[in-house]
Structures are given as structure tokens and as C-alpha cells.
Structure 1
Amino acid sequence: KMGYVYFSPEKCYYSVPYRYIGKETMIHYTGSRIEIFYNHERIALHQRNLTKGSYITNADHLSSTHKFYSEWSPEFFRKKALPHGEYVLACIEKILASHDYPEINYKRSLGIIHLHRAYGSGRLNNACKRALDTDSCSYLRIKNILKNNMDRLLLSVNELEPQKPHIPFHSNIRGASAYE
């Protein structure tokens, strides 16, 4: 469960102390402030943010396990990806550049980076290269590449024989010049 209340006028999320997660709260607001109440007691006070879709977090509201998440930033994930290889980093940068909510992209990035625990950095880097080649950098795609050992196939059929035409030569087959 999230430690945020949803404020619909700006479609924003405001943090509440983690012990109130799952409890029914009431929001009072003015042009500049958001107050959140539980049983008529104010449990949170925030400056109102007019940026649609933003998450406003007071670090004191987070449990110790969630304080780790407050360190998340694009640079945090780039540093986490770099030791595993250039293609892991490239996949993470591609995910971070997408237009979804940053928190969702952070979780996707972390999932990909954590695949090194089961498969090792070398295999993860190869899987990310394959995902980049097909423009499909997603956790599920990279996990399936690893699970099916597709990262271990060094070259695809196209890379092995790039000059060989896909249609065999035959004297009865005409080329594009026959249609000019």
C-alpha cells in the first residue's frame, strides 16, 4: 500500500505518516496548503503543489524501508546499472527517458538491474544488448531473453550471413529492373 493520499484537483499525491496507510482520511485545502486529517486530528501538512501528477513527500512520513526509496533519482539508477555493462546502462536510460511516472520507471529499472543476481552481469548485459537491438527494453522482455538463454546466442542468423539473399538464385526469377 502507498503512504499517499490522492488529491484530485491537481491529480497529486501527498504523503501521510506510514502508520495511517489504509486508514480513511479527510483533506482540507486552501490555495497554498493541503492538510490531511484522521479522526479530526491533523496528521500531515503540505505546501500545495499545482503540478499535475506529482508526488509530494515528507521524508518523516516514510517507514525506514521506504526511506531507501526517497534516494531514488535517474542518477541513482545510472550508477546502479553501470557496473553491469554499457547495454544495461543504455536500457535503463531508455526506460528513464520514457514519459511514464518516474516512480514506475524506477521500479522497472530496479527490476532489470536485480536480474544480475540470478543470471550474472555478463548475461544481463548481453540480454540488454539483444533487447536494445529489437527496441524492446522492458523487464519482462529481458527476463525472457535470460530465461530462454537467448543472450547466449552470439549472432543471429542475419548477422551470420548478411550478404546471402533471402531468395535463392533461379534463372526464372526477375529482379526490380524487370518492372521499370
Structure 2
Amino acid sequence: MPAAHRAHREWSPGRFLHWADTIGAATRQLVEHLLTERPHPEMGYRSCLGLLALARQYGDDRLEAACARAWAIGSRTRKSVQSILHNKLDQHPLPSAIAQTDWVTPDHVNLRGPTYYRDPPTTH
């Protein structure tokens, strides 16, 4: 059997998860997602290899921060993590979302208000 085929036989979801554990919790979470989002875990192996290979280029800390950011923004692909690392977004804090209770609608003369929808329309 060729060496590449033997190496591929050694891959397993457990091996990828263990490797991701050595980097951090966010990386493990993303690797789990890559392995479970497809019908068969084997279909996610290449994405996991690409993701974990980014640790060699950028380091474990940056990869962990990028995985956390990708998870937070809902973009859970290797390509998104690579883009975050390339653009150094992992080194900046995530912008905080404005809470709905903090939002105040500005007053305008053209706002209808609640009575517009409660009262029946008038005919002229």
C-alpha cells in the first residue's frame, strides 16, 4: 500500500480532536463541527488538516483566537479562520453587539406610532 494511503488510514476523528485539544477549546469545538457537519466524518478530514496546519504558520495562540472569533461570528470554515488570521482580526476584540433594550427609536414626524395600527382607518 502506498505511503499516502497508509497515512490516510491512520486518520480518525479521535486523532483530530486530540490534536485540536492541544491547541485549545475553541479549536476543538471547530474541529468537532467540521467532522460532524458532513454526512461522514471522513469528508471533514481535509478541512481539519488544513485548519490544524494553520497552527504551524501562525502559532497555537493565534489559531485558538481565530477559531473563537469564527465561532462567535458564525463562520465556521477553514477558509474563514484562514482569512481571520491573514487579516490579523484575531488580534482585535470582537465588537460588542448593541442590546435591544439599549436601542431608542429616534423621534420623527413621519413615525406612525402604536395608535395607527390599533385604531380603524378613517374614511374621508
TM-score, reference length from structure 2 = 0.77
Conservation of the 8 A alpha-carbon contact between 2:67 and 2:81 = yes
In structure 1, how many angstroms separate the alpha carbons of the residues matched to 2:21 and 2:110? 51
Runs of 4+ in 1 over 6 A off after TM superposition: none
Alpha-carbon spacing, 1:170–1:113, altered in 2? closer, same or farther (3 Å)? same
Alpha-carbon spacing, 1:152–1:172, altered in 2? closer, same or farther (3 Å)? farther
Name structure 1 gaps, 5 residues minimum.
1-60
Conservation of the 8 A alpha-carbon contact between 2:62 and 2:85 = yes
Task: Out of 99-108 and 115-124, give the one that drifted further.
Answer: 99-108
Number of equivalences: 116
The answer to whether 1:134 aligns with 2:81 is no
RMSD between aligned alpha carbons? 2.4
The alpha-carbon deviation at position 117 of structure 1 amounts to 1.1
Alpha-carbon spacing, 1:151–1:176, altered in 2? closer, same or farther (3 Å)? farther
Give the structure 2 partner of residue 77 of structure 1: 16
Q: Which has the higher strand share?
A: 1
- 1:104-152 per-residue CA deviation (whole Å, 9 max, x = no partner) reads 3111001101111111111111111111123221111110011111111
TM-score, reference length from structure 1 = 0.56
Which of residues 87, 107, 119 in structure 1 aligns to 2:46?
107
The answer to whether 1:169 aligns with 2:102 is no
Match for 1:153: what amino acid?
H
In structure 2, how many angstroms separate the alpha carbons of the residues matched to 1:80 and 1:122? 14
Task: Out of 65-74 and 124-133, give the one that drifted further.
Answer: 65-74
Return the structure number with greater relative CO, CA threshold 8 A, min gap 6.
2
In structure 2, how many angstroms separate the alpha carbons of the residues matched to 1:176 and 1:126? 45
The alpha-carbon deviation at position 85 of structure 1 amounts to 0.8
Percent identity at matched positions? 28
Give the structure 2 partner of residue 53 of structure 1: none
Which of residues 9, 19, 28 in structure 2 aligns to 1:89?
28
Match for 2:41: what amino acid?
P
The answer to whether 1:125 aligns with 2:33 is no
Q: Secondary structure at the match of 1:68?
A: helix
In structure 1, how many angstroms separate the alpha carbons of the residues matched to 2:79 and 2:112? 42
User: Whose Rg is larger?
Assistant: 1
Conservation of the 8 A alpha-carbon contact between 2:55 and 2:63 = yes
The answer to whether 1:98 aligns with 2:26 is no
Alpha-carbon spacing, 1:174–1:138, altered in 2? closer, same or farther (3 Å)? same
